[in-house]
A and B are shown apart, each in its own frame.
Chain A
Amino acid sequence: MDFNFTEEQEMVRDGLSRLVREQYDWETRRKAIASSEGWRPEVWAQLAELGILGMPFSEADGGFGGGAVDAMVIMQEFGKGLVVEPFVPTVVCAGGFLKHGGSAAQKEEHIGGIVAGSRVFAFAYAEPRGRFDYADLETTAKKDGSGWVLNGHKAVVIGAPWASHLIVTARTGGERRDRSGVSVFVVDKSSPGIVTRDYETVDGRRASEVYFENVSVPAEALIGAEGEGLALIELVTDEAIAALCAEACGAMKVAHAMTVEYSRQRKQFGVPIGSFQVLQHRMVDMYTAYEQAVSLTYLATLRLGSDETERKRTVSAAKVGVGQSARLIGQEAVQIHGGNGVTDEYAIGHYFKRLTIFDAEFGNVDHHMKRHVALA
């Protein structure tokens, strides 16, 4: 049993923590997310320089040989600062598909760019009516000579406005919701026939609706085996869930600390509200929920390499537990901040919003409770 981090991981944490503190203060973040671009490519470049974008890739693939625990350390720090830059879509998702399913040529083409910060990805998997089911796809890829033609509509593709490339899931065979017949493609976002509609998300990020209208992609765009993509998608999204849980833990830690601090400062009836036992106990419950969430996040992260059933069960356990903690902590933080908690100006409400949207990403509490039950 060892819950310590390596010296290297501590160094990564320190470096990132400093970057978030210095570059991601509240006012700077507000300006950045309100700007027309909505993110800061210069921060992305700094992350590349620090080696963060190459951390989870093997040295053979041009990375720094880190693993899931390194991604967890990184995401916790991102969560503390509500960092919007697309680490999960680019490094965890696209990187994951390339690592686990990519050909030598695909790795060669894309990983170097990801590590250097020059290639940004978004993961186009959700559809308007699919609701957390990766196989419930209306997007199709049809054989056309040696290549493929994509048609369909992908919903709320996080980070797509910033992306140069997309990872796209599509049905290449079988019936809707079949486990076979799902394939994964890597697509240049500037390909003819791709139309995007960009917008902000309520938690300060950017996303797009992405429409594919007879988009031709070459044979080399297919990642892994044709029609066998679902297992790969489940593996990569489980890794993404573990990363998002770590991010939520970072955000919860700050939201809780801010609430405790506020309760020390804010006076009502002549005393700090933190002296009221009813609020003390609720902040204790928040703290307990946070610690439980951290434990489930560790467990899921450490089990990502286990057999499929064990991996899915622990990841679902984490998504359920962290989702419940995120909801409790977000709501209580706002309530204890009173009116200030519902204003745009105070940071706490933005932590609450991120923790709210977290729940629906890659399946909400109910969805993962079902998966957990089914795997019992």
Chain B
Amino acid sequence: MNLEFTPEEQAFRDEVRAFIAENYPKHLADFGMREDMSPEDMVAWHKVLGEKGWSVPAWPVEYGGTGWTPTQRYIWSEENARINAFMPLPFGVAMVGPVIYTFGNEEQKAKHLPGIRSGDVWWCQGYSEPGAGSDLASLKTTAVRDGDHYVINGQKTWTTLAQHADWGFFLCRTDPTAKAQEGISFILVDMKTPGVEVKPIKLLDGGYEVNETWLTDVRVPVENLVGQENKGWTYAKFLLAHERSGIAGVARSKRGVEKLREIAANETMDGAPLIRDFDFARKVSQLEIDLAALEITELRTLAGEQAGKGPGPESSILKIKGTEIQQRLTELTLEAVGTYGAPYYGSIANDTGSNEYAVGPAHAQHAAATYFNMRKTSIYGGSNEIQRNIITKMILGL
């Protein structure tokens, strides 16, 4: 048992820290997830990393991965979180990419992997449907074979950032007679294909992050089928396990706690800094304790991966605890800003037309929006109730 990083790992940390300091776009530092980010801003770091060869660190080396150990990957994500860097969107890098290099054919690998690595192609995920959220296998979107094409019809929802997407990966029912999970296929769709319509959904925080996506007689060449027809559920599950392991967000939450402490040192309560208030400080400490536990749990999972065990049902623990911590962190941050949690900064930014906010301290501006936005985390990626069901079945065997 040894929790210390090796000298090699320390040297690696110094190297990535220097690289980030030199190359991360200055205007995006500490930007986080802000409503006013442009699509160009969102891929800016991805493109820099693509050129460096660091955009898909977890992939096998033959497909452009770095060959980093899980520990190195962990150090990498920590160093990025130190400046709250906006990381490459997961849809290409962490989701469809691994499915393509694991289950796709050579043509698909050659066609799609380079664009994912470079950040030139924006992907979105077409899984959920209005009637199929947590019960994903009940999805109704159909793909019917017509010569050398599939004709896709149906409606997807919660398609994150699909308004900017070039390509999407969709789960479609190809055998309506089969049992729920056995007639589903994994199909890649060029989002410019006629019949694809994307309509943004306004969320509670005032932003537009997800969409409704309609597919009406969308003709897709059969070569866009990944793997075998009707085996899509296998690929979908593989992808979801990958998605969950990234969902803990430890490094980001650590930066968030640091920020919370900064805010609470600047806010006053009864004439003293809020952070010296015992009740508040106790809640911050509780958060740090839970986060420390999660961090070690994630490191143990990574060590298991390093030893050749893929992310299994334990990743559900990371999802549950990680999202609970993110939610409590944003809740405490909103609590810390007190009265200035109430203004809707979207309305204020619009009326000045500049980045100068005349209302309240700068650290209050995104507190409420972020809190509202983070309620999604216990719902998406398989709700936390579903994660508990997974643990019940897969680990407890009940």
Please tell me if the beta carbons of B274 and A345 are within 8 angstroms of each other in the complex: no
| CB-nearest residue of chain B to A273 | B134
Q: How large is the interface on B (under 10, 10 to 19, 20 to 34, 35 or more residues)?
A: 35 or more
B131 CB-CB contact with A under 8 Å: yes
Selected interface stretch from A14-22, A81-89, A109-117, A336-344 = A336-344
> In the complex, which residues of chain B have a beta carbon less than 8 angstroms from the beta carbon of A356?
334, 368, 371-372
Does B380 belong to the interface (CB within 8 Å)?
yes
Q: Are B279 and A267 touching (Cβ within 8 A)?
A: no
**Least Cβ–Cβ distance between A331 and chain B, in angstroms:** 7
A202 to B388, CA, bound (A): 32
- Decide: A202 and B368 in contact? CB cutoff 8 A: yes
**How close is A130's CB to chain B, nearest CB, in angstroms?**
8
A338 with B204, Cβ < 8 A, contacts A199-B348, A202-B343 known: no
B77 proximal to A (CB < 8 A): no
* Cα–Cα, bound, A186→B270 (Å): 27
* Beta-carbon contact of B340 and A339 below 8 Å: no
B32 near A: Cβ within 8 Å?
A: no
Residues of chain A within 8 A (CB-CB) of B358 are 197, 209
Which residues of chain B in 222-273 are interfacial with respect to chain A, using CB atoms and an 8 Å cutoff?
Answer: 267-271
- Complex-state Cα separation, A128 to B342, whole angstroms: 12
Q: Name the distance in Å between B376's Cβ and chain A's nearest Cβ.
A: 5
> Which B345-384 residues have C-beta < 8 A from chain A?
346-348, 351, 358-361, 368-369, 371-373, 375-376, 378-380, 383-384
- B338 to A131, Cβ gap below 8 A? yes
Query: A-facing mask of B97-138, CB < 8 A → 1, else 0?
Result: 000000000000000000000000000000010010111001
Expressed in whole angstroms, the Cα–Cα distance for A349 and B201 within the complex equals: 14
* CA distance in complex: A128, B376 (Å): 30
Q: Would you call A360 an interface residue if the criterion is a C-beta within 8 Å of the partner chain's C-beta atoms?
A: yes
Complex Cα–Cα for A268 and B130 (A): 11
Contacts known (A331-B375, A366-B277, A366-B279); A129 close to B347, Cβ less than 8 A: no
Asked if B378 contacts A207 (CB within 8 A), the reply is: no
Smallest Cβ distance from B336 to chain A, in angstroms?
10
- Pair B360/A155 contact, Cβ less than 8 Å: yes
* Residue with the greatest number of chain B CB neighbours at <10 A, chosen from A132, A156, A176, A199: A199
Q: Check B344–A200 contact: CB distance below 8 A.
A: yes
State how many angstroms separate the Cβ of B364 from the closest Cβ of chain A.
Answer: 10
How far does the Cβ of B356 sit from chain A's closest Cβ, in whole Å? 12
Chief secondary structure at chain A's binding surface: mixed
Q: Is A39 an interface residue (CB 8 A)?
A: no
B134 touches A268 (CB 8 A): yes
Q: Is the CB of A126 within 8 A of B347?
A: no
- Determine the chain B residues whose CB is within 8 A of the CB of A201 once the complex forms: 342-344
Query: Is A339 a contact partner of B339 (Cβ separation < 8 A)?
Result: no
With contacts A209-B358, A344-B203, A344-B204 taken as known, whether A267 is within 8 angstroms of B347 at the C-beta atoms is no
Residue of B nearest to A197 (CB): B358
How far apart are A110's CB and chain B's nearest CB, in angstroms? 26
CB closest chain-A residue, reference B359: A209
Interface assignment of B335: CB less than 8 Å from any CB of chain A: yes
B64 at the interface (CB under 8 A from A): no
Q: Tell me, yes or no, whether B326 is within 8 Å of chain A by CB.
A: no
Q: How far is the CA of A209 from the CA of B335 in the complex (A)?
A: 20
Q: Are A334 and B375 in contact (CB-based, < 8 A)? A: yes
Residue-wise, chain A 312-338 has the 8 Å CB interface mask toward B (1 for contact) of 000000000000000000010011001
The closest CB in chain A to the CB of B279 belongs to: A366
Taking a contact as CB atoms under 8 Å apart, the answer to whether B280 and A156 are in contact is: no
A203 at the A/B interface (Cβ < 8 Å)? yes
Q: Is the CB of B343 within 8 A of A342?
A: no
Q: How far is the CB of A326 from chain B (nearest CB, A)?
A: 13
Residue A13 lies at the interface, judged by CB distance under 8 Å to chain B? no
| Shortest Cβ distance from B349 into A: residue | A199
Query: Could you tell me the distance in whole angstroms from the C-beta of A271 to the nearest C-beta in chain B?
Result: 10
**Does A339 lie within 8 Å of B343, measured CB to CB?**
no
Q: Is B157 an interface residue (CB 8 A)?
A: yes
- Contact status A364-B203, CB under 8 Å: no
Shortest Cβ distance from A158 into B: residue: B342
- Residue A134 lies at the interface, judged by CB distance under 8 Å to chain B: no
Contact check: which of B128, B270, B277, B351 meets A339 at CB < 8 Å?
B128
- CB pair B342–A156 under 8 Å, yes or no, is yes
Is B268 a contact partner of A129 (Cβ separation < 8 A)?
yes
Known: A128-B361, A344-B202. A278 touches B369 (CB 8 A): no
Which of A207, A267, A341 has a CB less than 8 Å from the CB of B131?
A267
Q: A129-B268, A366-B277, A369-B279 are in contact. Are A342 and B379 (CB under 8 A)?
A: yes
**Residues of B contacting A202 with CB < 8 Å?**
341-344, 368-369, 372
Residue A357 at the chain B interface, CB threshold 8 Å: yes
B278-314 interface code vs A (CB 8 A; 1 in, 0 out): 0110000000000000000000000000000000000
Given contacts A131-B267, A200-B347, A279-B385, contact A268 B379 (CB under 8 A): no
Residue A370 at the B interface, CB < 8 A? yes
Q: Mark B168-200, 1 if CB is under 8 A from A, else 0.
A: 000000000000000000000000000000000
Taking a contact as CB atoms under 8 Å apart, the answer to whether B158 and A339 are in contact is: yes
B340 x A155 contact (CB < 8 A):
yes
Q: Which residues of B contact A3 (CB under 8 A)?
A: none
Top 4 A-B pairs, shortest CB-CB distance: A344-B202, A268-B135, A200-B347, A200-B344
**27 A-B residue contacts at CB 8 Å?**
A128-B340, A131-B269, A132-B338, A156-B342, A202-B341, A202-B369, A207-B342, A207-B343, A268-B134, A276-B385, A278-B385, A279-B385, A334-B375, A335-B375, A339-B157, A339-B210, A341-B379, A342-B204, A344-B203, A344-B204, A345-B202, A352-B375, A353-B372, A357-B341, A359-B335, A364-B335, A370-B279
Q: A-contacting residues of B (Cβ < 8 Å)?
A: 128, 131, 133-135, 138, 157-158, 201-204, 206, 210, 267-271, 274, 277, 279-280, 334-335, 338-344, 346-348, 351, 358-361, 368-369, 371-373, 375-376, 378-380, 383-385, 388
**Which A residues fall within an 8 A CB radius of B?**
126, 128-129, 131-133, 136, 155-156, 158, 176-177, 197, 199-203, 207, 209, 267-270, 276, 278-279, 331, 334-335, 338-339, 341-345, 349-350, 352-353, 356-357, 359-360, 364, 366, 369-370
